[in-house]
Structure 1
Amino acid sequence: MTDPTPAAAPAVPPGEITDLVRRTPLSFVGTVTRTGGTPLSTVEADEHTAVVRVDHVLHAPDAFRRLAGSRVTVQLKADAPRLEVGDSAAFFTEGLHYGADLAVTEVGRLPAHAVRPHIALAATSADELPFSAVLREIHRQDLAVHAREADAVLLGTVTGLERLDGAGPRSEHDPHWWRAGLDVEHVERGTVPDRTVRVLYPNSRDRHWNHVPKPAAGQSGLWLLHATEGDQRELAPYALRDADDYQPAHRLAALREGM
């Protein structure tokens, strides 16, 4: 198995792991068991095709958390260094074929030693994958950006909910607009002149809208609000639009660092 030791290999630039995790849904440390071919009839093999035994899953959707020990077909990047049978590396990938067997496309690659500290740390927790902390940091960074782009960020409690019949155009994916009243406790960002602010939100469970928070009576927390436009402006000054528009109140301290 070929894997340069940390002393013999160049250091990974800061942020490279975070960037690769951000760009891909699945990464793993694996050992090449075959090159130039695949057992999958649905994948056309060439000189950049390899079969890789998964040694450690680094980050993955729930359905692929337990890939360790299985073999995956990897379509390698054409401009990446060539791999031979027995070589080990950390592969950052996106899906190519799903079924009884998995095939993925390589987006990036790092030496296996570059991720060993993450693997060692994750070994102390049965539920953690090696890049779980990286994913949390990515979410923290993205949430800070989202908060900076919001028109108002405030702590508040839902005091009332109201269905708005006929608000906006009807469509196959009708959002079913409702309006929530928020009793404002603290304004962190933006201008909220009144103690109670009205907020639109799509109450539909359609796939286009299901990710948007659905306020509940008495619910308290941190709200990231977006200014309404056009006809919606007459219904409420703000709306919920994104999955991250509601956060537990304790997240405010962490968000302050990035806003």
Structure 2
Amino acid sequence: MTDTTPTAAASDDLTALVRQAPLSFLGTVTRVGGTSLAAVPVEDRNERTAVVRVDQVLHAPEAFRQLAGGEVTVQLAPDAALMGVGERAAFFTRGMVYGEGLGVTEVGRLPAESVQSHVSLAATTADELPFTSVQREIRAQDLAAHAGTADAVVVGTVVGLEQVDGTDRYSEHAPDWWRARIGVTRVERGPVADSTVAVLYPNSRDAHFYRVPKPVAGQEGLWLLHATGDDLRGLAPYELIHPEDYQPVHKLAVLRERR
């Protein structure tokens, strides 16, 4: 029996490719030097252009999850091996042309058999693509890495909100600082001694701030807190500055698993 369990190195390669490519699929080459798209210029139709039948989508944005059975034009990576008609592989790609069909540029490629364990597992899991578990692990790794940059990590509930006076909140691009008071039920890490901690956050919807969490009264969560700089320290000891600074409470288990 052939062992299809990925080695650690193969798993690392897979994770790196899923990070880089928004779309991957198992596919079989049907034509070389051709295209399924009129938008691809004639001069670009060479041995590094292949038409590939999508046998199975491995991971993709919602709009591209139904590609199986169709054909896409793949611009092969310049440093990748050429492919012949009938060859099969796992392609990791980025979008290039989208209109009457789909054209993509290859980011990387793995042998089809190297991803078979993920394909087999997904076949028994409803509503998940084969690489959903890989994407979940990537998100967990990223969360743990971001939590490592926080000065304090607490579980708590928002018990008060107030706009901070004395800051330039009327400028078009000003952060419009507000202060949340969080009733702390668990200190996971950091110098938080009191049962309530004050936290600044930018309430502005300006492009620079709109993704930063905006606490809501009564909101319970896992809060990744960053020490305020000298200019704001008199207003609160901590601030929210990153989109990932608020998490549902159950994400605490994810952090603990990756200590």
TM-score (norm 1): 0.88
Q: Distance in 2 between matches of 1:105 and 1:220?
A: 43
Deviation at 1:256, TM superposition (A): 2.0
Residues 24 and 94, structure 1, Cα contact 8 Å, conserved in 2? yes
Residue aligned with 1:22, SS: helix
Residue aligned with 1:13, SS: helix
C-alpha change, 1:89 and 1:151, in structure 2 (3 Å) is same
What is the aligned partner in structure 2 of residue 91 from structure 1? 91
Residues 37 and 100, structure 2, Cα contact 8 Å, conserved in 1? no
Cα displacement string for residues 45-98 of structure 1 (whole angstroms, at most 9, x for unaligned residues): 232111111111111111111111221111101221110111111001112223
Segment drifting more, 77-86 vs 39-48: 39-48
Confirm or deny that 1:119 pairs with 2:123: no
What is the aligned partner in structure 1 of residue 30 from structure 2? 33
C-alpha change, 1:158 and 1:169, in structure 2 (3 Å) is closer
Residues 168 and 232, structure 1, Cα contact 8 Å, conserved in 2? no
C-alpha change, 1:189 and 1:87, in structure 2 (3 Å) is same
Confirm or deny that 1:256 pairs with 2:256: yes
Residue aligned with 1:109, SS: strand
User: What letter matches 1:39 in structure 2?
Assistant: S
For structure 1, list consecutive stretches of 5 or more residues without a partner in the other structure. none
What is the aligned partner in structure 2 of residue 75 from structure 1? 75
TM-score (norm 2): 0.88
What is the aligned partner in structure 1 of residue 15 from structure 2? 18
Segment drifting more, 227-236 vs 17-26: 227-236
RMSD: 2.4
Deviation at 1:206, TM superposition (A): 4.4
Map 1:68-217 → 2, pairs under 5 A? 68-164=68-164, 167-168=167-168, 172-217=172-217
Deviation at 1:203, TM superposition (A): 2.7
Deviation at 1:180, TM superposition (A): 0.8
User: What letter matches 2:232 in structure 1?
Assistant: Q
Q: Distance in 2 between matches of 1:51 and 1:136?
A: 30
Segment drifting more, 33-42 vs 180-189: 33-42
Q: Distance in 1 between matches of 2:99 and 2:240?
A: 37
Residues 94 and 106, structure 1, Cα contact 8 Å, conserved in 2? yes
Q: Distance in 1 between matches of 2:164 and 2:108?
A: 48
Deviation at 1:172, TM superposition (A): 4.5
Q: Distance in 2 between matches of 1:125 and 1:153?
A: 33
C-alpha change, 1:97 and 1:232, in structure 2 (3 Å) is farther
User: What letter matches 2:249 in structure 1?
Assistant: A
Residue aligned with 2:210, SS: coil
Q: Distance in 1 between matches of 2:95 and 2:165?
A: 42
Deviation at 1:17, TM superposition (A): 1.0
Segment drifting more, 249-258 vs 124-133: 249-258
Deviation at 1:246, TM superposition (A): 1.4
Segment drifting more, 120-129 vs 201-210: 201-210
User: What letter matches 2:162 in structure 1?
Assistant: E
Residue aligned with 1:233, SS: coil
User: What letter matches 1:190 in structure 2?
Assistant: G
For structure 2, list consecutive stretches of 5 or more residues without a partner in the other structure. none
Q: Distance in 2 between matches of 1:168 and 1:194?
A: 29
